[in-house]
Structure 1
């Protein structure tokens, strides 16, 4: 069995749950935030869709600078409707799943570095990064989104039974 054989069932399960939550976001609440210091519902939903777009750079490059000294910083594109968010999520999910399926165990052992302004934030083997970024990080933001929706009396399904 390959490493991806262990990763993909969990990834698929979590992405089904994430998509279900994204479909619950009403357009009227995209600008809502629980506190002035926090991101909006729309930002969190857009971030979930955007995070999957990082799979390509994760598997094809060995580093990514989120705020290069000589260029613009990466910003989550703010999508303007639930339909646009779900469509972006679906597109990025299909592309990322194809890339994951094509990845070899050798690919997953390569070290990958996240930089900010040329300074290393962390380096991990791609296999560890895939688990932390494309499962754990997305669960983290999905949890914020669920909490925000529930604060606005939007029913959210249980994701684990």
Structure 2
């Protein structure tokens, strides 16, 4: 079984769901946060939009050292900015996967902060973690939106908002696969 086609399919399935979530993030709520220790919606949504680029990072590098390269996914001023960041990030991630080999994906990849090793993965592992982070943070965004009484789409089935008729995009309730 080939891993690269499976990862590409998973990326596309998660992209369909992620687009729906990013499309409903209201720019006038970008600075809102549910708790002082929480990210604000803009920071969270920009991170979600940028996560597919971590696939390219995993493919093209042997690791990331936060002390040498602090993580900065950028800023957004509008909901369209979020979607633009996401589409660029997704394209970079998919292109990286399409251009690599399974042998390359078995090589080690290290996440560190200075001399402190935070995680050791192989490149497949860092890609899987990136996809898990996408799902994790997208769910977090769903909670933020729910707290703002914004109806949310379904992810892997209909949401409570879809079932109650509150979510408006009923033509695209869940991913088609």
Please state how far the C-alpha of 1:66 moved relative to its aligned partner: 1.5
- Structure 1 residue 150 and structure 2 residue 150: aligned? no
Greater relative contact order (Cα < 8 A, sep 6+): 1
Please state how far the C-alpha of 1:73 moved relative to its aligned partner: 2.4
What secondary structure does 2:126 align onto? helix
Match of 1:121 among 111, 114, 118: 118
Q: Deviations over 1:45-86 (max 9, x none)?
A: 000122223333311111111122xxx622332222111111
Distance, in Å, in 2 between the alignment partners of 1:63 and 1:95 is 17
Structure 1 unaligned regions, length at least 5: none
Matched residue, 2:30: 30
Matched residue, 2:92: 95
Q: Where do residues 22-101 of structure 1 align in structure 2 (5 Å cutoff)?
A: 22-68=22-68, 73-101=70-98
Q: Deviations over 1:122-157 (max 9, x none)?
A: 111111111111x10111110110110111111111
8 Å Cα contact 1:2-1:104 kept in structure 2: no
TM-score (norm 1): 0.91
Structure 2 unaligned regions, length at least 5: 158-177
Distance, in Å, in 2 between the alignment partners of 1:27 and 1:13 is 25
- Structure 1 residue 140 and structure 2 residue 136: aligned? yes
Could you list the structure 1 runs, at least 4 aligned residues long, displaced by more than 6 angstroms after superposition: none
Please state how far the C-alpha of 1:118 moved relative to its aligned partner: 2.9
Please state how far the C-alpha of 1:7 moved relative to its aligned partner: 1.8
8 Å Cα contact 2:55-2:126 kept in structure 1: no
